[in-house]
Structure 1
Amino acid sequence: MPDLRTELAANLDEAEWEWLIPHVKRDAVIVVALGLGLLDVGVAIASDNIPQVQLWIDEQLITKPTTEQLGEWNGNPQKRFQTLIVQPYVLAQEIVDT
């Protein structure tokens, strides 16, 4: 049986903003700050690592989308995100154009 990290890594994907909108409407999207490993966050949530997840919340490294973010992303429906589904959540991290 594969370990949790390997299992979640197989589910990493990219998504356009418009694909995430239904999940935002059900309040299931968690925005992961740049510089924080999306897979690390997924593993912590899936394994109920409450102290680590709470630390990230306290430091605002994982948040719900803000009104400003929603406005920006709604204006750019092709905006791309790295995503990871950890039921019932969809973790999303902006892909920054360089």
Structure 2
Amino acid sequence: MVELFKALKQGLKVKTFVGTSENAVQIQIWTALIAILILKYLQLKSTFGWSLSNLIALLRQQLFVHRDLWTWLNDPFQAPPSLVLAEQLPLGL
């Protein structure tokens, strides 16, 4: 639990908010807290020895690559699976 609060203290560096109302600020803080909680869960469930900052950086890099999340978390340096290109269907006009 101490690690979670340490990650929140170091990782939740909010410089500006999108909205200025109390509700907007609370929503943005809660969203950041939930995101860090999910990332911390992924870090703890992985068999690879991730640091939280490396996990966040590499997840950002792999965001648009189609692969199995749990396989990638446990073996991040494996090449992504090859794409199977299907033939495009004709448009019947």
Report if TM-score (shorter chain) is over 0.5: no
Larger gyration radius, structure 1 or structure 2: 2
Bigger helix share: 2
**Normalised TM-score (structure 1):** 0.29
